Amino acid sequence: MSRRLVVAGNWKMNKTAAEGKALVEELKTRVAAVAPEVEIVVCPPFTTLGAVVEAAAGSRIRVGAQNVHWAPNGAFTGEISAEMLKTSGVEYVIIGHSERRQYFGETNATVNQRLKAALAAGLKPIVCIGESLEEREGGRTEAVLAAQLEGGLADLTPEMMQQVVLAYEPVWAIGTGRTATPEMAEATHAFIRGTLERLFGAAVAAGVVVQYGGSMKPGNARELVAQADIDGGLIGGAALKADSFAELIEQAALGHCGK
């Protein structure tokens, strides 16, 4: 298995700077023994990034933001540019999370703009895709995912695509405790990889890390990551405590090394 395992915690709108620092301090010791090839990322809110970058310095923990604007600077009240993130010591950035799409009007077109800005600044994007319950039940999952990939990844070269991590997060599984079964998730991940092959060629598709997200917990991480096309996780609730996140990472590492 040549693909990396990337486990990222999306803290969403949780944790003050002091709370984030404390979590990372604890996490650092808890994950010290995890296999070094496992990439561990935490994605705090903007105001907590500085404290977390400082706390994670010199450790194996990488830091990501939860969004980025496409313009380099200017009159965009409330937004943050890729350069601002990069120069703050941030390495990753989540783009197009379903909560951004659902509550803040983000579209495949704005995902694409943000993605290009992130890549140009040398950030590693984690691009989120996923269908709603209504779309799954209506048999539209593949059409929705294909449109998200075609629109969100538009104009990217194969070289650019190699820098991108994808996160498949079925919207109906986020924060609901209702996880996709490993078989169901794998079938969808295989479809995503097939679509990447159509868009970018077999070699690129084989190398892209595709995470699963949606009620991933220590108890189901191993079985999910053991699936052929699942290369890690984007974790919400279970990433908010060092204990559960560390245990989840250990379980995911076990699932990965069995492949």
Contact set with ligand 13P (CB under 6 A)? 10, 97, 169, 174-175, 213-216, 234-238
Residue 131 catalytic?
Answer: no
Residue 180: which of 141, 146, 211, 215 has the closest Cα?
215
Contact 114, 72 (CB under 8 A): no
Type of residue numbered 94: I
**Least separation in angstroms between CB 175 and ligand 13P:** 4
Q: State how far the Cα of 150 lies from the Cα of 76, in Å rounded to an integer.
A: 27
Choice between 156 and 238, CB closer to ligand 13P: 238
Q: Which is nearer to ligand 13P, 67 or 215 (CB)?
A: 215
Question: Shortest gap between Cβ of 72 and ligand 13P (angstroms)?
Answer: 27
Amino acid letter, residue 231: D
Residue with tokens 């917990």: 217
The structure tokens listed for 21 are 């620092």
Pick the catalytic residue: 106, 131, 135, 169?
169
Neighbouring residues of 192: CB distance < 8 A, sequence distance ≥ 6: 129, 145, 149, 166, 168, 210, 229
Least distance in angstroms from the C-beta of 99 to ligand 13P: 7
The enclosing H or E element of 9 equals strand 5-10
Q: How far is the CB of 206 from ligand 13P (least distance, A)?
A: 25
Q: Tell me the residue nearest to ligand 13P as measured from the CB.
A: 236
Q: Which DSSP symbol is given to 156?
A: -
Beta bridge partners of 64: 92
Nearer to ligand 13P, 117 or 234 (CB): 234
Query: What torsion, rounded to 10 degrees, do the Cα atoms 98, 231, 11, 250 define?
Result: 150
Give least dist CB 110 to ligand 13P, A: 18
Q: Is 256 marked active-site?
A: no
User: Given the complex with ligand 13P, which of 200 and 215 has the nearer CB atom?
Assistant: 215
Q: Please, which residue, 180 or 204, has the CB nearer to ligand 13P?
A: 180
**Mind telling me the catalytic residues?**
97, 169
